[in-house]
């Protein structure tokens, strides 16, 4: 079983739709959870950064973490064509000897005008 599982999609939605992206994980030591957006042939761009369980909202984006279920989500409201990209979840533990990120494989999202 991979440490982080993410449905690769592709996911295609009409403009204005609410998008839900999800990841599950198996490592209970993960404490920090991130969502990155990656446009084609570009580097990942940090969208949301959360610690432990709970919700975090930033504009049209909401990140949710449910540590009891080992499940994280990213919601995009009023989706726009410019949101079309690959969305990667990433997570890491509290530190110790290294601070590497473990990534999901990414979900390809297309928002159609």
Partner 1 sequence: DSGVTQTPKHLITATGQRVTLRCSPRSGDLSVYWYQQSLDQGLQFLIQYYNGEERAKGNILERFSAQQFPDLHSELNLSSLELGDSALYFCASSASLAGIGNEQFFGPGTRLTVL
List contacts with partner 1 (CB under 8 A). Answer: 32, 34, 36, 41-46, 49, 51, 88, 90, 95, 97-106
Q: Smallest gap, in angstroms, from Cβ of residue 79 to partner 1?
A: 23
Tokens of 101: 């990120």
d(CA 37, CA 59): 15
> At closest approach, how far in Å is the CB of 19 from partner 1?
20
Which distant-in-sequence residues (6+ apart) come within 8 Å of 11 by Cβ?
Answer: 19, 21, 107, 108, 109, 110
CB of 10 to partner 1, least distance (A): 14
Which residue's CB is nearer to partner 1, number 42 or number 77?
42
């Amino acid at each position: 079983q991979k440490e982080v599982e993410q449905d690769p999609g592709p996911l295609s939605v009409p403009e204005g739709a609410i998008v839900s992206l999800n990841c599950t994980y198996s490592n209970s030591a993960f404490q920090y959870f991130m969502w990155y957006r990656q446009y084609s042939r570009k580097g990942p761009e940090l969208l949301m950064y959360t610690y432990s369980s709970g919700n975090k909202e930033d504009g049209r984006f909401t990140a949710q973490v449910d540590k009891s279920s080992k499940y994280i989500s990213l919601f995009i409201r009023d989706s726009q064509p410019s949101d079309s990209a690959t969305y990667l979840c990433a997570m890491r533990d509290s530190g110790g000897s290294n601070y590497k990120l473990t990534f999901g494989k990414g979900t390809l999202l297309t928002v159609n005008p």
